[in-house]
Amino acid sequence: MLAFIVRRLIQSVLVMLAVALVGFALFTYVGDPINNMVGQDTSIEDRERLREDLGLNDPFPVQFFRFVVNAAQADFGISYRHGRPVEDLLVERAPATLELSFAAGLFALFVGVPMGIYTALNRRSWLSKVFLTVSLIGVSLPTFLIGILLILVFSVWLGWLPSFGRGETVQFGWWSTGFLTWDGLTALIMPAITLGLFQMTLIMRLVRAEMLEVLRTDYIKFARARGLSARAVNFGHALKNTLVPVITITGLQLGSVIAFAIITETVFQWPGMGLLFIQAIEFVDIPVMAAYLVLVAFLFVLINLIVDLLYFAVDPRLRVGGGGGQGL
């Protein structure tokens, strides 16, 4: 187990280095940072001096090494546009994105899993067919369209929910939360649904497919033959076996929820990291872009690691030192 974690950590470091290389390449090859800093009337000598002072004439590996060392200390430089350290901007924006992703993830999980179980157990019911058809729409409609439709219906026509922003937030140290005010919660509903809808339909279809697969296995047939109640068979034996692959996909999807929050945040003008990133692209704010890239990669690596560890908790076959049985 320990050896496994160490191995995964080494792999994670390698992935992060590769991403850092891409992030660093942005600085080096997209435009000239000196041009972004100085005025048009700066002389060529001054530019060269600045270049030398900033270490931009150093060989590539030296510059990359410097970038990695700084990035490891969460130092991504100063935003061109905001004139403030990038890490401060990210820390300020992170709670909004994380809360939105968390709410979207909960929505996807707590609606998707029961719907998947229902459609697997009642394959022929009309409600299952409705769920499946609707889920097809959820998968095929683009996120921004769903967001705009929701705004049209619930904000413009019905006037029930706010169409943009986070509403009122409460500050806890550096963390600002929208969970504690009514205004913040109502503002969260539509963005969370928009962001989570695709994941929800994905989870539903995944749970359904896995559950149907598990229900066909011999041990489920044997559990029935032992006269266990339908509840014990479906929810005790089948569901637990279904959840093993669902955990992986859900975990990995959590990473993409955070990454794809960009579009939802743009539609709802949600003041999170995604909106920051979109604005950074518009202004070629490379430090912000690079930092966001590295941060998203870091989240993916972290989530992957957690998912792998969760496997150990669920599946006894993976726990080491369980005696000399035959592996499956």
Partner 1 sequence: MSDPLLSVRDLRVDFPTRRGVLTAVDGVSFDIHPGEILGVVGESGAGKSQTGAAVIGLLEPPGRIAAGDIHLEGQRIDRLSQEQLRKVRGRKIGAVFQDPLTSLNPLYTIGRQLTETIRTHLPLSEAEARDRAVQVLGEVGIPSPADRLDAYPHQFSGGMRQRVVIALALCVNPRLIIADEPTTALDVSIQAQITALLKRLCREHGTAVMLITHDMGVIAETADRVAVLYGGRLAEVGPVDDVVNRPLHPYTEGLMACIPTTHERPPRLAQIEGSMPSLTAMPPGCAFHPRCPHAFDRCAAERPPLFDHPPSAAACWLWAPEGARATERAAS
Which residues of this chain interact with partner 1, rule CB under 8 A? Answer: 217-219, 221-230, 232, 236-237, 240-241, 244, 314-317, 322-328
Residue placing its CB nearer to partner 1 in the complex, 26 or 232: 232
Least distance in angstroms from the C-beta of 318 to partner 1: 10
38 sits in the region (left: phi over 0; alpha: psi -120 to 50; else beta) called: beta
Helices (H), the chain: 2-29, 33-37, 44-53, 60-72, 86-121, 126-140, 143-150, 182-215, 218-225, 230-231, 239-267, 273-282, 286-314
Residue 303, C-beta contacts closer than 8 angstroms, at least 6 positions apart: 251, 252, 254, 255
Amino acid code (one letter) for 7: R
Q: Between the CA of residue 217 and those of 220, 223, 233, 242, 245, what are the distances in Å?
A: 6, 10, 12, 12, 16
Least distance in angstroms from the C-beta of 227 to partner 1: 3
Residue placing its CB nearer to partner 1 in the complex, 75 or 315: 315
Structural contact between residues 313 and 38, judged by C-beta atoms closer than 8 angstroms: no
Residue placing its CB nearer to partner 1 in the complex, 199 or 234: 234
Structural contact between residues 254 and 105, judged by C-beta atoms closer than 8 angstroms: yes
Least distance in angstroms from the C-beta of 236 to partner 1: 8
Contacts 24+ apart (CB under 8 A), 3-10: 4/308, 4/320, 5/309, 8/305, 8/308, 9/305
Structural contact between residues 302 and 138, judged by C-beta atoms closer than 8 angstroms: no
Task: Name the residue among 223, 252, 309 with its Cα closest to residue 8.
Answer: 309
Least distance in angstroms from the C-beta of 320 to partner 1: 12
Least distance in angstroms from the C-beta of 31 to partner 1: 55
CA 163, chain centre distance (Å): 23
Residue placing its CB nearer to partner 1 in the complex, 174 or 219: 219
Least distance in angstroms from the C-beta of 68 to partner 1: 42
Least distance in angstroms from the C-beta of 326 to partner 1: 7
Burial of 83 (C-beta count, 10 Å sphere; 0-12/13-18/19+): exposed
Residue placing its CB nearer to partner 1 in the complex, 39 or 322: 322
Least distance in angstroms from the C-beta of 136 to partner 1: 25
Residue placing its CB nearer to partner 1 in the complex, 39 or 327: 327
